[in-house]
Amino acid sequence: MKKSPARTIICLLASMLLSIFVSVLAIMLSVELGFATNNSLTSALDEVKYYERLYNDFMDKCESIVIPDGLGPEVFDGVFSVEQLKSDGNAYLNAQLNSTVYKTNLDWYKEQLTTNIKEYVDEKQLVADGDEDEIIEDIVENIMDYYIKMISIPYASTIGSIFRTISALFPYVFFSMLVFAMITIWIINKQNPHKKNRVFRYLAYATTSGAITTLIPPIYCLYTKFYTKIQVYPEYLYDFIVRYIENGIKIMLLIGMILFLVSIVMIALSTYLKHKYIHTRTYHHHHHRSGERSGEEESEA
């Protein structure tokens, strides 16, 4: 079968469209797996020891709140713990991401903190200018408000809303891209019914292009590291954001590399089938054809 310009153009166009579908599939998959899951957030939090550092910062700030009120850091002994803060933080994060309401039970903290403050006031013989219980209640409420503020991750509800949009779109985009990809593969196949090496050649173009399109953004990010220049404080929040972005980038890089491997397989298959085709044709016709003819066949292939 001779190459026809119309067939070549159709195949190239189909291959180009396939490359777009493959790229969209790969990028959507990268975003869904690398960024838009609760697990991607919580694993980044764990990796940078976010809650341990948050706890230290929280205790530091709490002490700064109560010291001007005449109290000492020891009023927090046995009240808060890293484990409880982590549990409250994760539950609160999940609620924000899923747009549900999580009510942290603060009763135990309040009770324990109030007891400690009263003991401290008695021990140090501090004098209250007004109702002592009311003053202590105000201090405790202040600390509790601060606790809620500290366990919430900034913009978590906005991030959650983006996650939900991506997750809602993902199945539709995924399956439509898959269907479109199948159609383009079918077109390429239909145009080359006897020359499967050509089919794999066009598939190789598409998958290589998909791999390039998917690999360029993460390589650019890892090379420039522009995301490390964001001015976010405190340090543990900055570390969490950078780690979260880097983890997502690595997933994208991995998917791009898998696609690249697929394209190598396609190239290998195309080359193998072409050589097989030439060998078969040469074998069948070697009594009737010259070496020049085999060269022509090669060009046809």
Partner 1 sequence: MQKHKNRFAKKLNRVMAYIYMPLLFSLLAYGVTYLMASDVIDIAVNLVSLISADKAPDFTNENNSIFVKDSVEINDDDGVLTVKRADVGMADYGDLYAYVRCTRIALDAPVYYGDDDAILKKGVGQDFASSQPGFGRLIVLCAHNNMYFNALKNIEIGDIVEIETSYGTYSYEIKETKILNENDSSAFDFAIDHEQLVMYTCYPFDMLAHTPDRFFVYADLVSGPVFVD
Contact positions toward partner 1, by CB under 8 A? Answer: 12, 15-16, 19-20, 23, 60-61, 63-64, 67-72, 121, 124-130, 132, 135-136, 138-139, 201, 204-206, 208-209, 211-213, 216, 226-235, 238, 263, 267, 292, 295, 298-299
**Residue 71: partners with Cβ closer than 8 Å, 6 or more residues away:** 117, 120, 121, 126, 139
The nearer residue to partner 1, 9 or 108, going by C-beta atoms, is 9
For residues 268 and 120, give the distance between their C-alpha atoms in angstroms, rounded to a whole number: 77
**Shortest Cβ 260–partner 1 spacing (Å):** 10
**Shortest Cβ 198–partner 1 spacing (Å):** 11
**Shortest Cβ 127–partner 1 spacing (Å):** 6
**Shortest Cβ 230–partner 1 spacing (Å):** 5
The nearer residue to partner 1, 83 or 230, going by C-beta atoms, is 230
**Shortest Cβ 207–partner 1 spacing (Å):** 8
For residues 196 and 258, give the distance between their C-alpha atoms in angstroms, rounded to a whole number: 23
DSSP-derived secondary structure letter, 36: S
Own/partner contacts of 119-124, CB < 8 Å, gap of 24 or more, are 120/71, 120/72, 120/74, 120/75, 121/71, 124/70, 124/72
The nearer residue to partner 1, 10 or 91, going by C-beta atoms, is 10
The nearer residue to partner 1, 108 or 261, going by C-beta atoms, is 261
The nearer residue to partner 1, 87 or 196, going by C-beta atoms, is 196
**Shortest Cβ 91–partner 1 spacing (Å):** 28
The nearer residue to partner 1, 41 or 266, going by C-beta atoms, is 266
Q: Which of 209, 162, 171, 200 is nearest to 11 (CA)?
A: 200
CB 30 within 8 A of CB 89: no
DSSP-derived secondary structure letter, 231: -
3-state secondary structure of 106: coil
